[in-house]
Structure 1
Amino acid sequence: MKVSALSPALLGLVASVHAASSIEYSTVTGYFLQDETATDASTFDYTAVNFGLINRTYPVDQELKRHGKDFTQWERFYHQVQKLNQDSHKDVEYKVLFLGRHGEGWHNAAETYYGTPAWNCYWAELDGNSTATWHDAALTDNGINQALIAHAFWQKEIDEQHIHTPDNYFVSPLTRTLQTANYTFSGLSLPDGSATFKPLIKELFREGISIHTCDHRRSKSYIHELFPSWPIEKGFAETDQLWNGVTAETSGAQDVRSSTVLGEVFFSSASSKRDAFVSVTSHSGEISSILRVVGHRTFGLSTGAVIPVLVKAEKVGEASATTAVSWTVSAHCTAPPVTSVSACVCPSSAAPVTTPLVTDV
């Protein structure tokens, strides 16, 4: 495999791309409102419309009538997905991905306060200011509330819709996503036989890696101390090997990463087809990347929001042996910008540089 513009720390990541790239992903549309172009992402509220599940009939409904009972929309959809998997080739798998964005973090609040241009070219490169810390940002009170809204809605769907809760849970290693997953799923009254909430912490579900300190994860020891009962994937490094404060991941590089990690979710075990409902607690940029990889239309999520997507994965022939994955160097000010109404202008005495403002990486 040919690699360009990668640091040595990323070679292990790219080496794993070859296997994952032999899987093709596609979104199976017609099941969720979020699939439809008429649905406005900027005003959409997943809690007002049953996660967006469309009220419709399914081919499997005829078989369910034999049970002599009424099934909810989510129960019928669950059986429809199971039927799709039962009837599919061994190299085809269907999964429902519940992609949840973390609640508001202190980095989100800081970007709103300073404005995006100033945030990107100076403030985001710091650990925080005199009142807040946004290095690997924690949730604000508002962010906690957003996660609790998701918690309450999941419980409502369990109680009223008998929704099939996730068979597997995954979470990004950044603090805001760990907290969001905990507030969202801990303490739910789950149906008998449901999978226990013990999310697997996976490095590659993290946010797009920029030079911002909010994208710099803390140590494995810190994460384990925060949630000691949660499993951490094999090979997870003690310190962050991907963030360096100098180079930033391109969207193409992130899509390669997303394809790689999806390849670790699909076809993962003998029961993978049966375990078709998957929760991923992640970030806006990473969810956007996943949506691109699975061929879903662009659908931005507000903090704390969730989008379910029915995805078909198919193993195909051998992938190309050449993949180029590039990262970019980002310049930033060394002092607060003079102006940043529409663009960032550094002070004359603080010309843009490409070295980190935070040196402890």
Structure 2
Amino acid sequence: MKFSVLSAALALTPAVMADWKISKNREIEYSSVEGFFLQDNTTTDATTFDYADWNFGLLNRTYTSDPKRKTIKPKGRKPYKAPWPKGYTTQWERFEKYVEHLNKKAPKDTQYKVLVMGRHGEGFHNAAETYYGTPAWNCYWSEQTGNATVTWQDALLTEAGLEEAYKANAYFEERFEQYGMPYFESYYTSPLARCVITARETFANLDLPKSHRFLPVVKESFRESISIHTCDHRSNKTYISTLFSKLRFEKGFAETDELWTGTKGETTEHQLARSKDILDDVFTSDDATWISVTSHSGEISKLLTTLNHRTFKLSTGQIIPVLVKAKQVSIEPTSTYASWSTEATCNAPPVTSISGQGCVCSTSTTLASTSATATAA
């Protein structure tokens, strides 16, 4: 189903078309190509899976693009396969060749990209939710800018969150240098500080080729679901630019947050629509095949839904790669939907906060159920 046009504030600037032209009366349909990563498999448990234990989940398998290896039969010894030729030695190298093969053989209306999506490390908002409990967090505390100890509006990373980014940094370095993982050609990040910092600490100090330098682009629509939580209220562009000197911003990126109001949150349909739009923007304006995206659990979940990937919720610091097939199809009729909804909450700390039952406001306040199940992301 194609969604109706987003609000003017979220409308993307016209994409500068790269090599891929979208034909008239056509749109892009996305699908995740299964069978290449453990995360594709429904038996892989997202709650216990750690990318660092499993080579980012890349499966050991053969590909149709693999070169034929001769069987060597030495006299007096068992036959064995000849070694892989240079450039096909590691699983990552062979997978890279396979993706190249897919794009070379694909018709003009189809292309393939590998999106490696990482959730930011633990932020102070995540720690605060753990401290207060999810019901109380959603009832009251998430609407505050912080407490007497910490600030969680546009939260920074905790020490644990920084450690998660350092872990990713070391793991990427090892995969690039020892396992033949392809270097990223493009880097994108949410504008929220926790993502910019995670991307910076993950990639900025790696010894990358000049042709694959870490020059991240901030895109508004890679941000988390826009709720009344202050952790979803991004800082201004001037502040964000101080987080990393080589940060770049998409065309039209506003100085101040024009989307967060503190009273209304976007609907699921609205977030799905902007997730589709940002993918369309990337696929039509960026001819890179290997792309890094640093985002949030909620937004990555919506991106996975748009890619028709199985549900796979990431904990902080976790990473998921997806082989994406994008194909032009006939435009479907549009449907209308509510973009924003009011989110009421307690005006004071709740009387009780019980997991699974929600929170109870004081007698002078009222809680709307719309905020009862959200989590800091």
The TM-score with structure 1 as length reference comes to 0.90
Name 2:341's counterpart in structure 1: 328
Which structure shows the higher strand fraction?
Answer: 2
Name 1:359's counterpart in structure 2: none
Find out whether 1:350 has 2:368 as its counterpart. Answer: no
State the SS of the aligned residue for 2:341.
strand
The TM-score with structure 2 as length reference comes to 0.86
Find out whether 1:146 has 2:164 as its counterpart. Answer: yes
Given that 1:93 and 1:267 are in contact with CA atoms closer than 8 Å, whether structure 2 keeps it comes out as no
Structure 2 Cα separation of the partners of residues 189 and 64 of structure 1: 33
| Cα deviation 1:65-99 (Å, max 9, x = unaligned) | 89833510000000100110011011211011100
Identity percentage of aligned residues: 52
Match of 1:303 among 309, 312, 316: 316
Structure 1 residue 228: Cα displacement: 3.1
| Cα deviation 1:306-328 (Å, max 9, x = unaligned) | 00000101122234355434221
Structure 1 Cα separation of the partners of residues 329 and 68 of structure 2: 32
Structure 2 Cα separation of the partners of residues 240 and 103 of structure 1: 22
Structure 2 Cα separation of the partners of residues 220 and 77 of structure 1: 38
Name 2:212's counterpart in structure 1: 195
Given that 1:211 and 1:248 are in contact with CA atoms closer than 8 Å, whether structure 2 keeps it comes out as yes
Given that 2:26 and 2:328 are in contact with CA atoms closer than 8 Å, whether structure 1 keeps it comes out as no
Name 2:79's counterpart in structure 1: none
Structure 2 Cα separation of the partners of residues 247 and 212 of structure 1: 10
Given that 1:16 and 1:260 are in contact with CA atoms closer than 8 Å, whether structure 2 keeps it comes out as no
Unaligned runs of 5+ in 2: 15-21, 71-82, 370-377
State the SS of the aligned residue for 2:298.
helix
Question: Which protein is bigger by CA-based radius of gyration?
Answer: 2
Name 1:114's counterpart in structure 2: 132
Structure 2 Cα separation of the partners of residues 14 and 325 of structure 1: 16
Name 2:239's counterpart in structure 1: 222
Given that 1:200 and 1:232 are in contact with CA atoms closer than 8 Å, whether structure 2 keeps it comes out as yes
Unaligned runs of 5+ in 1: 355-361
User: In structure 1, what residue type is equivalent to 2:361?
Assistant: C
Structure 1 residue 351: Cα displacement: 3.1
User: In structure 1, what residue type is equivalent to 2:247?
Assistant: W
Name 1:53's counterpart in structure 2: 58
State the SS of the aligned residue for 1:264.
helix
Structure 1 Cα separation of the partners of residues 58 and 296 of structure 2: 22
Given that 1:334 and 1:353 are in contact with CA atoms closer than 8 Å, whether structure 2 keeps it comes out as no
Instruction: Report the count of equivalent residues.
Output: 344
Name 1:35's counterpart in structure 2: 40
Structure 1 residue 16: Cα displacement: 7.2
Name 1:179's counterpart in structure 2: 197
Given that 1:151 and 1:188 are in contact with CA atoms closer than 8 Å, whether structure 2 keeps it comes out as yes
Given that 1:102 and 1:283 are in contact with CA atoms closer than 8 Å, whether structure 2 keeps it comes out as yes
State the SS of the aligned residue for 2:63.
coil
Structure 1 residue 165: Cα displacement: 1.4
Find out whether 1:155 has 2:162 as its counterpart. Answer: no
| Cα deviation 1:16-72 (Å, max 9, x = unaligned) | 79x999110001000000000111111101001100000000001026989833510
CA RMSD of aligned residues (A): 2.4
Name 1:266's counterpart in structure 2: 283
Worse-superposed segment, 338-347 or 220-229: 220-229
Structure 1 Cα separation of the partners of residues 250 and 12 of structure 2: 17
Structure 2 CA distance for partners of 1:87 and 1:104, relative to 1, 3 Å: same
Given that 2:124 and 2:151 are in contact with CA atoms closer than 8 Å, whether structure 1 keeps it comes out as yes
State the SS of the aligned residue for 1:226.
coil
